[in-house]
Chain A
Amino acid sequence: MDWLLKATTPAEKILVMFVAILLFAGVMAFILYVSEKLPRWIPAVGFLLPAVIMLAFGLLWPGLRTIFDSFRDAAGRKSVGVDNYVTVLTNPDFQIILLNTLAWVVAVPLLSTVFGLLYAVLVDRTRFEKLAKTLIFLPMAISMVGASIIWKFVYQYKPATANQTGFANQILVWLGLPPQQFLLNPPWNTGFLIVIMIWIQTGFAMTILSASIKAIPDEITEAAQIDGAGSLSTFFNITVPSIRPALIVVITTIAMATLKIFDIVRTATGGQFQTSVIANEFYSQKFSQGNNGIAATLAVILFVLVIPIVIYNVRQMRISEGER
């Protein structure tokens, strides 16, 4: 039965997959069969137990464990108090990482939302609306690994004497400017990585904002236009206030995704050239440096930073639901 744990051939892998699915189906069928015979609320126990056990084992307990580990040394052997936190907050190398993360979390939600909103307004009721929207939305389906490679190719550098193969540098050459090492020079390289995330998230912002723009009753916009409001005035006085709840949801959702950004940095630069961010440094600290304490500390910092965004998001959602 070795192949159950160490499937190597394609046939074995597919077999393991089916075994897993059948096993799972069997357990589910058993739970359903038993719970059918039980009275009142007792079946709820059977329905909830698998999920609750998994959540306790996979989210609750590891979360608490990581908080505990963040107060211990690299190997997790002895307590070091708040030393790890002091290191992360005061060491210049880590400060660059924190600043980079801040740049990401400020720039990506704002710019994605602005682009997404502009695009949603611009494309609304035009002839190619559906096609244009699909093209903008497409990067959402592409993995961040794939997106990073796509953009690494755009950013490729060749010396000025050779033919450029990266499109960004070719544009510079066409404009008569010298080609640049986009991903090598801090702090601008972080900016060029941020572009990748904006490229991905704009489609998300556009989709949600476009739906809520279309939900604004035509009568309101028409009334404004009859009253003599121009396009700009209608946009700022009617459209933006009407979709405020959706705007906040979009910004906070993108902010949460950006805070945990890992794939792009990992694939495009590996965190070199001062481009690292918290989530990437967490991975390097644990799996390259073997420093469990610092890794745990970075994870906890991520956790702490996410909480206010979530609370704000939930509160806004409550408020907008109350208004409805």
Chain B
Amino acid sequence: MSEEIKYAIVDTVEPTNAKFSDDPMFRKERKLTRAEKRAIDAKGRLSSPWASGIAILLALIWTIPTFGLFLTSFRPEPDIRKTGWWTWFTNPNVTLNNYEETLFGSSTGLSTFFLNSFVVTIPSVIIPITLALLAAYAFAWIEFPGRNILFVAVFALQVVPIQVTLVPLLTQYVNWGLAGSFWTVWLSHSIFALPLAIFLLHNFMKEIPASLIEAARVDGAGHVKIFFRVLLPLLMPAIASFGIFQFLWVWNDLLVALTFAGGNKNVAPLTVRVAELSGTLGAKWHLLSAGAFISIIVPLIVFLSLQRFFVRGLLAGSVKG
């Protein structure tokens, strides 16, 4: 790759990021001055302490349900049965038995399903993103007959609710003898993710200046080289956003997993098992509370550590459209 392209890349990093600089959440350098100005403004505003107070209060109310169950998952079983979690503050008993029993006990066995969730999710994120990148590249940078019609068709497929597709797909999988294996779950999740992934990544690719691609072509770079050397580095934020989205989507999904892997404890992910336990365990809250948190913990970590990308993806997906 020639020096010009490298320079051009450095140059274009700015404009691509500029997409987000309209949006204050991602304004990095300018945010400081803006925030300071606002802090000064806010001090002058009478409503500010009240607003802060109400905001915090509402945030606490929003968190109480989750916190209550979280606390419960660490309380001994007899305590949970007889008293509410708020009595914990006067009677603080803590145990890890609930987690141990939920993960390894014979009635729940969530450790198996925990692994299943990972095995289901990872390929279901990698495969659609890769395929969508290829397709989005073709739509964005290769002129071919029927390009617009095909792109609109892919866009329109976002409308199809997955319920419409489940039964015929399942019948087909059964006919192929693949039903109840990881393969069908991966394939289904990949298919359902494709329309949105292609659409979003295409929009991001279109933001990259055509001159950059042209320059690389003049230098004799083929599609593969252009894609990996020029586009991929610029697309990383978009890929990260969609990747987190898809990860949370697949990990938290119930319908697809229930339909294609529901009956098989070697494939079914946590959501399927926990939803099932919600019906069968009934009042055994020491197991249900721990089970719920085992299924929640991974997306929570992903979300909290990568919140910035997640919010960016959200805004790109629904506002920028």
Point out residues on A near B: beta carbons under 8 Å.
5-8, 10, 13-14, 16-17, 20-21, 24, 28, 31-33, 35-36, 41, 43-45, 47-48, 50-52, 54-55, 57-63, 65-67, 69, 119, 122-123, 125-129, 131-132, 134-146, 148-154, 156, 163-167, 170, 199, 202, 204, 207-208, 211-212, 214-215, 231, 245-246, 249-250, 253, 259-260, 262-263, 266-268, 270, 279, 282-283, 286-287, 292, 295-296, 298-300, 302-303, 306-307, 310, 317, 321
The interface residues of chain B lying within 8 Å CB-to-CB of A164 are 84
Interface residue B94 (Cβ < 8 Å from any Cβ of A): no
The interface residues of chain A lying within 8 Å CB-to-CB of B291 are 149
Closest 5 CB pairs of A and B: A58-B191, A143-B252, A141-B303, A41-B144, A62-B165
Find residues 223-262 in chain B having any chain A CB closer than 8 Å to their own CB: 223-224, 248, 251-255, 258-259, 262
Q: Which of B3-11, B51-59, B99-107, B205-213 makes up part of the contact surface?
A: B51-59
> Is the CB–CB distance between B164 and A153 below 8 Å?
no
> Is the CB–CB distance between B135 and A51 below 8 Å?
yes
10 further A-B pairs in the complex, CB-CB below 8 A; given A145-B252, A146-B296, A165-B82 = A20-B123, A51-B134, A51-B135, A123-B55, A167-B64, A167-B84, A167-B86, A202-B62, A208-B314, A246-B319
The interface residues of chain A lying within 8 Å CB-to-CB of B144 are 41, 44-45
The interface residues of chain A lying within 8 Å CB-to-CB of B138 are 43-44, 47-48
Interchain CB contact (< 8 A) of A150 among B55, B65, B158? B65
CA distance A145 to B80 in the complex (A): 21
> Is the CB–CB distance between B167 and A260 below 8 Å?
no
The interface residues of chain B lying within 8 Å CB-to-CB of A282 are 163
> Is the CB–CB distance between A126 and B48 below 8 Å?
yes
Interface residue B161 (Cβ < 8 Å from any Cβ of A): yes
Which residue in chain B gives the minimum CB-CB distance to A168?
B65
> Is the CB–CB distance between A125 and B41 below 8 Å?
yes
The interface residues of chain A lying within 8 Å CB-to-CB of B142 are 41, 43-44, 47
Interchain CB contact (< 8 A) of A165 among B52, B80, B132? B80
Interface residue B131 (Cβ < 8 Å from any Cβ of A): yes
> Is the CB–CB distance between A165 and B186 below 8 Å?
no
> Is the CB–CB distance between B55 and A122 below 8 Å?
yes
Interchain CB contact (< 8 A) of A152 among B39, B271, B278? B278
CB distance from B165 to the nearest CB of A (A): 4
The interface residues of chain A lying within 8 Å CB-to-CB of B165 are 58-59, 62-63, 66
CA distance A57 to B176 in the complex (A): 14
> Is the CB–CB distance between B66 and A35 below 8 Å?
no
Find residues 65-118 in chain B having any chain A CB closer than 8 Å to their own CB: 65-66, 68-69, 72, 80-86, 115-116
Find residues 122-172 in chain B having any chain A CB closer than 8 Å to their own CB: 122-123, 126-127, 130-132, 134-135, 137-139, 142-145, 147, 150, 154, 157-169
CA distance A132 to B52 in the complex (A): 9
Find residues 21-48 in chain B having any chain A CB closer than 8 Å to their own CB: 22-25, 38-39, 41-42, 45, 47-48
> Is the CB–CB distance between B319 and A212 below 8 Å?
yes
> Is the CB–CB distance between A150 and B131 below 8 Å?
no
Which residue in chain B gives the minimum CB-CB distance to A165?
B84
Can you list, as one digit per residue, whether each of B270-290 has a CB less than 8 Å from chain A (1) or not (0)?
010011001100000100110
The interface residues of chain B lying within 8 Å CB-to-CB of A139 are 62, 66
CB distance from B182 to the nearest CB of A (A): 6
CB distance from A2 to the nearest CB of B (A): 11
Which residue in chain B gives the minimum CB-CB distance to A268?
B278
Interchain CB contact (< 8 A) of A6 among B42, B266, B279? B266
Point out residues on B near A: beta carbons under 8 Å.
22-25, 38-39, 41-42, 45, 47-48, 51-52, 54-56, 58-60, 62-66, 68-69, 72, 80-86, 115-116, 119, 122-123, 126-127, 130-132, 134-135, 137-139, 142-145, 147, 150, 154, 157-169, 177-178, 181-183, 186-188, 190-192, 194-195, 198, 222-224, 248, 251-255, 258-259, 262, 266, 271, 274-275, 278-279, 285, 288-289, 291-293, 295-296, 299-300, 302-304, 307, 311, 314-315, 318-319, 321
CB distance from A113 to the nearest CB of B (A): 13
Which residue in chain A gives the minimum CB-CB distance to B48?
A126
The interface residues of chain B lying within 8 Å CB-to-CB of A122 are 51, 54-55, 58
The interface residues of chain A lying within 8 Å CB-to-CB of B167 are 62, 66, 69, 286, 292, 295-296, 299
**Assuming A20-B183, A139-B66, is B47 touching A63 (CB within 8 A)?**
no
CA distance A126 to B224 in the complex (A): 48
> What are 16 A-B residue pairs whose CB atoms fall within 8 Å in the complex?
A7-B266, A13-B115, A32-B224, A33-B224, A41-B142, A44-B138, A48-B138, A50-B131, A51-B198, A52-B135, A58-B188, A58-B191, A62-B168, A62-B169, A129-B55, A163-B84
The interface residues of chain A lying within 8 Å CB-to-CB of B119 are 13-14, 16-17
CA distance A202 to B59 in the complex (A): 11
